[in-house]
């Protein structure tokens, strides 16, 4: 079998990927990010709310033959927005069975999240979601559910928009940016240990204080047309990349 790095490179180079998603590799650094999280092709990996399937395009084929990709999606009927998102994702997956036919989809109730049998996953990954849970005061419930589904020694990988240190909670909720301290606190409260931080998804040009929060920047682009060049020049948000571990005992 191919070495993990080669297999990952092959998945990232896959012709099934949406060209618009490929164009964002320079902002999202999938090779560095997944290598930092230690994702191996024989693991069971749960991705929390994959949205449009940006990382699904890479992870599902990468894990297809030796591991298991699990996409944790909101149960149908909870939110019209998520119902539409889920329908689009199912359509995308059905169109390319060679890449996605072994992927598993687990629906969960956002009010009491559970992501599968206890101790069944090698890794849980979440990309730019934590601000949503903090906004709905659900952060603790989600991190506890991540802890429960992971095997002892398992990895929690978090990528999130990064606020300046000491930003207050209300500003975080409005802006979509969170402090590293808050994310680490949520994880440690659930029982995780912080293993390492990576700057793979850092963007020093992002001041994290835009009029429409993180959604001002690409890909949200919620700004006046006159400011388009300014925000394109900044690019996507500054992001923390944190690797946590569920202790062995």
Alpha helices in the chain (DSSP H): 4-12, 19-22, 25-28, 30-36, 56-63, 80-95, 97-100, 130-135, 139-149, 169-175, 180-190, 228-234
Contact 124, 55 (CB under 8 A): no
**pLDDT value of residue 24:** 96
**What is the rounded (10 degree) CA torsion for 169, 175, 179, 184?**
80
Percent of the chain whose pLDDT exceeds 70: 100
What integer pLDDT is reported at residue 5 of this predicted model?
87
The confidence score (pLDDT) of residue 12 equals 98
Q: What share of the chain is helix, strand, coil (3-state, %, to 5)?
A: 40, 20, 40
Cα separation, 234 vs 83, in Å, equals 32
- Span 102-125, pLDDT tens digits: 999 999 999 999 999 999 999 999
User: How far from 189 is each of 143, 164, 186, 208, 246, CA to CA, in Å?
Assistant: 8, 22, 5, 26, 12
- pLDDT of 96 reads 96
Q: How far is CA 9 from CA 58, 126, 202, 224, in A?
A: 9, 21, 21, 38
Nearest C-alpha neighbor of 185 from the set 153, 241, 143: 143
Q: Are 238 and 28 in contact (CB under 8 A)?
A: no
pLDDT, tens digit, 9 for 90 and up, residues 123-143: 999 999 999 999 999 999 999
Residue 97 domain boundaries = 4-246
How much is the mean pLDDT over the chain?
Answer: 96
Q: pLDDT tens, 155-195?
A: 999 999 999 999 999 999 999 999 999 999 999 999 999 99
Q: Which two three-digit tokens encode residue 146? A: 């991540």
DSSP-derived 3-state class of residue 154? strand
Indicate if the pLDDT at residue 87 is higher than 90: yes
Number of domains within the chain: 1
Strand, helix or coil for residue 241:
strand
The label of the residue with tokens 């896959």 reads 14
Q: What CATH number does the domain containing 146 carry?
A: 3.40.50.150
pLDDT greater than 90 at residue 3: no
């Amino acid at each position: 079998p191919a070495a993990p790095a080669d297999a990952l490179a092959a998945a990232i180079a896959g012709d099934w990927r949406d060209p618009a998603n490929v164009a964002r590799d320079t902002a999202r650094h999938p090779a560095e990010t997944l290598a930092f999280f230690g994702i191996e092709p024989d693991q069971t990996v749960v991705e929390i709310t994959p949205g449009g399937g940006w990382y699904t395009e890479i992870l599902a084929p990468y894990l297809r033959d030796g591991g298991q990709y699990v996409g944790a999606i909101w149960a149908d009927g909870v939110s019209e927005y998520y119902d539409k998102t889920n329908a689009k994702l199912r359509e995308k997956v059905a169109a390319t069975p060679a890449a996605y036919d072994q992927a598993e989809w687990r629906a969960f109730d956002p009010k009491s999240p559970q992501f599968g049998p206890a101790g069944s996953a090698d890794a849980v990954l979440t990309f730019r979601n934590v601000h949503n849970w903090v906004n709905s005061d659900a952060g603790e419930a989600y991190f506890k559910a991540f802890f429960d589904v992971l095997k002892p020694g398992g990895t929690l990988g978090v990528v999130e928009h990064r606020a300046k240190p000491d930003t207050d909670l209300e500003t975080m909720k409005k802006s979509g940016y969170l402090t590293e301290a808050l994310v680490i606190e949520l994880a440690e409260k659930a029982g995780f240990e912080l293993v390492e931080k990576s700057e793979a998804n850092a963007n020093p040009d992002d001041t994290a204080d835009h009029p429409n929060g993180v959604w001002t920047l690409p890909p949200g682009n919620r700004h006046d047309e006159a400011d388009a060049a300014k925000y394109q020049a900044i690019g996507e948000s500054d992001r923390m990349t944190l690797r946590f571990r569920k202790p062995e005992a």
